[in-house]
Structure 1
Amino acid sequence: MDTRSQKKILILYASAGHGHEKAARAIFEAFQDSGSGHEVKILDALSLTLPLVGRFYRWVYFTQIKYAPWLWGFSYYSTDCRWVYFFIRYARRAVNQVLGSPLHAFLEKENPDVIVTTHFLSTEIASFLKGRKKITSKLVTVVTDYLPHYVWTAPAVDFYAVAVEDTKKGLVDRGVPENRIRVTGIPIEKKFLESSPRKELLAKLGLEDDRFTVLITGGGAGIGGVEEMAERLSKLRVSLQILLVCGTNRALYERMSVFSKTSPFVRALSFVNNMQELMEVSDVVIGKGGGLTVTESFAKGKPLILFRSVLGQERRNDRVVERYGAGFATNSVEEVVKKVSEIAQNPELRAQMAENVKRLSKPKAAEAILRIVRDER
């Protein structure tokens, strides 16, 4: 590549919610695979804040989500209003200038050709610096949810990469010019885009190929009800096998491991790094409505049952999934069991949901974002 066409590209995420980092790493991975020759770096914006700020930011977010989701929901919905956010934006800007001063200094020093952000915090800071002519970087923001919040909007963003047309409309309604928005899909790791013969994977994982396979995720996030769900599903008069991913929830894993000794078609799994394989062999995925979870399931062509999603962005993701007939959302274990039974016993419903999922899936999102970065259309 001509060195004059090489670009210095910085991908910024914030480690408050795993989806933002996963999306950033998917873009980084795509750049590595493209052989573009650009100088590409990836960085957690919270690592460049004043001491302990990043840790406190993460603690506040995860504590609210786990122990006070109503508080997170209240702050989310109450600030997604033009006039309220007009004042909040100035307050956030003042706080960011102080607490994020190391990131300000870093961006001014580096002044990359392109900044790609997957979290609104880094978007806010980069947009502020660009508006003050402290940096001249092209700014591309990747929205990692299916419906946006005002917090994603910033005046100096050159392009937004969004999941679906609904996301685009949400940004336009919040004042973003339509010509700055590209419907690319949400970027995911390439392992979710690769596939293996289902029968081979089932054999590898020690699963039967004539049973309807249910994957339950979110156990590690401490979602209540998944234990009862697995137990009740195991008693259905339907030929099922159930995979329950417990993640870092050791207590849940140990309890369900004991339960599986008397219910052989319930498999308890701890932390896994082969989620793409588990999704590949499953017929339906049950989990929370995180943007990346939804997108990964769609990439595998799997319908979703979204269970006890957090108020705010996850509930809005639920709305899009239900609107397009790609899944169901509920807070009720009883309703989950009913829906699994219905999907398992109704091939026509399964086929229709699979078609709806296909309409929403955009597996080449990372490549589309690379084209935006490289000024291609």
Structure 2
Amino acid sequence: MYTWKEVVKDLGLNKVLILSVAVGAGHMRTAEALREAAGSLYPGAEIRILDTFRYASPFLGKVVLGAYMEMLKKSPLLYGFLYRQAEHGKPLSGKGKVGFSHIINIAAAPRLVEYIKDFKPEIIVCTHAFPLGIVSFLKKKGVFRGPVFAIITDYDVHSFYIFPEVDNYIVGSEDLIPQCLDFGIEPGRVHATGIPIHSQFSGRYDKALLRKKIGLEPDLPVILLMGGGLGMGPIDSVFKTLGSGSGYQLICVAGANAALREKLDNMARDMACRVQIHGFVDYIHVLMAASDIMVGKAGGLACAEAMSLGLPILIVDPLPGQEEKNTEFMAAAGAGVRVSAANLASVVKDYLKDPAKIEIMARASAARGKPNAARDAVRLMAQAVDSPDYKRAAK
């Protein structure tokens, strides 16, 4: 008679280490979605998520992530320039990437080596490019010999994710496979499962019932305004624009930005439409499923979650870099539209006048959704652990 742990071990997953970085919310949420899926498919498996910088080098994390966030807030054009310069074939994609990875490895690798030796994971999964560079370095040095999976959490394949030591790449769409092949990655190592998202986004919900549950009118259209986990971007001005309209209800999610939440609460008193304001929530799937249109940022995970629920997105002035790439993907799929803050009100009015337009976008969004991405990715991980190549390397 087998125990659950013995069954899990036979199936291929026993110990999984997921490395991420707590910048924004998307990378960690992807890690949590993988942990949920792995725990469901392999109940006895031990799955750990490590905030890489916080554990391995808090000082470096503060410097690197602090500089990253400041650049996004104060110099987004500079960030966009650097992002483009690090794309495939550009100056920073070669020596620039190697030099940056070298600095991170010097600071963060020693403690991570200790952690890996202590935990002894069978597989390491990275949901951010920074820890992926460290793990690739450790695999090259023989510190870790098991499979390494890279989870690309945007609809673009950037050079900072590309390392020869990575065994498998998980990408958000079949459209990204040619980009991977251009980097020289073999077709069998690229898997378009979709960006891993929580199982909550795979459900089918009754929109009218959800609206009643959260205190909204069941038959009046709902617009969801989001600024990501950090509540970044011109949310207050967009909130004011949308709040001056009528004929719909407005939900706004301020994320972890407490100052923004307070400001929006004060602004809401003068709004023409019915308004709900939320901070950082763990029920975003409910708010998405209750809405007709989403307005806001084009974070990779947010796009994946919206498409899973068939929710169209109006993307307001995306940041240069990966947000622009995500916007291009959503627009090409017919699941999103890029708008400026200046014409947002007229675009919303136009869509609400013609519900058929919303329905067409919603269908296009749902057609590109991959609600089972996390489970599909985990199954691939189990196959990699069970492969003869891995078993030979593990001996």
Do residues 80 (structure 1) and 87 (structure 2) align?
Answer: yes
The Cα offsets for residues 23-73 of structure 1, whole Å up to 9 and x where unpaired, read as 001000111222442222221111332351222222112111112212211
Matches within 5 A, 1:196-345: 196-218=205-227, 220-224=230-234, 226-236=235-245, 239-262=247-270, 263-330=272-339, 332-345=340-353
| Larger RCO, structures 1/2 (Cα 8 Å, 6+ apart) | 2
CA distance in 1, matches of 2:278, 2:119: 43
The aligned amino acid for 1:339 is V
Task: Give the equivalent residue in structure 2 for 1:362.
Answer: 370
Equivalent residues in 2 for 1:132-211, closer than 5 Å = 132-211=141-220
Q: Is the 8 A contact 1:97 1:104 kept in 2?
A: no
Is the contact between residue 27 and residue 127 of structure 2 (CA under 8 Å) also seen in structure 1?
yes
Post-superposition offset of 1:77: 0.8
Q: Is the 8 A contact 2:308 2:369 kept in 1?
A: yes
Q: Shift of residue 137 of structure 1? A: 1.1
1:275-333 residue CA offsets vs partner (Å, 9 max, x unmatched): 11111111000111110111111122100011122211111000000011111113x22
Q: Is the 8 A contact 2:84 2:90 kept in 1?
A: no
In the comparison of the two structures, how many residue pairs are matched?
A: 374
1:102 and 1:45 mapped to 2: Cα distance? 10
Q: Contact 1:229–1:337 (CA<8 Å) still a contact in 2?
A: no
Partner Cα distance (2:205, 2:298) in 1: 26
Which runs of no fewer than 5 residues in structure 1 stay unpaired? none
Q: Distance in 2 between matches of 1:249 and 1:129?
A: 37
CA deviation after TM superposition for structure 1 residue 271, in Å: 3.2
Partner residue, 1:98: 106
Whether the 8 Å contact between 1:117 and 1:141 is mirrored in structure 2 is yes
**Partner AA of 2:371 in structure 1:** P
CA distance in structure 1 between the partners assigned to 2:177 and 2:119 by the alignment: 31
- Residues 360 and 261 of structure 1: is their aligned pair in 2 closer, same or farther, counting only changes over 3 Å? same
Secondary structure of the corresponding residue to residue 113 of structure 2: helix
The residue type equivalent to 1:337 in the other structure is: A
Moved more, 101-110 or 16-25: 101-110
Moved more, 269-278 or 207-216: 269-278
* Aligned sequence identity (%): 28
Per the alignment, in what secondary structure is the counterpart of residue 261 of structure 1?
helix
Which whole-Å CA distance do the structure 2 matches of 1:99 and 1:165 have between them?
Answer: 36
| Cross-structure match for 2:74 | 67
Tell me the alpha carbon deviations over residues 126-181 of structure 1, each in whole angstroms, 9 at most, x when there is no partner. Answer: 12222232221111111100111111111011111110012222221222222110
Deviates more, 1:279-288 or 1:204-213: 204-213
Q: Is the 8 A contact 1:9 1:113 kept in 2?
A: yes
RMSD: 2.2
Counterpart of 2:27 (choices 17, 20, 25) is: 20
Give the match for residue 382 of structure 2. Answer: 374
Matched residues in 2 for 1:134 and 1:364: separation?
A: 33
Q: Paired residue for 1:42?
A: 49
Change (3 A) 1:95 1:257: closer
Deviations 1:78-132 (A, max 9, x none): 1113363221233134213311121134335544211111111121111222223
2: CA distance, partners of 1:112 / 1:70? 40
Give the AA of the match of 1:66.
Answer: K
TM-score, structure 1 normalization: 0.92
Structure 2: runs of 5 or more not aligned? 388-395
Aligned residue identity for 1:61: Y
SS in 2 for 1:286: strand
Distance 2:47 2:277 in 1: 39
Query: Counterparts of 1:30 and 1:193 in 2: how far apart (Å)?
Result: 12
Verify the 8 A CA contact 2:126 2:151 in the aligned structure 1: yes
Indicate if the aligned counterparts of 2:221 and 2:292 stay in contact, CA closer than 8 A: yes
Question: 2:257 touches 2:279 (CA, 8 Å); kept in 1?
Answer: yes
Task: Confirm or deny: 8 A CA contact 1:14 1:45 kept in the other structure.
Answer: yes
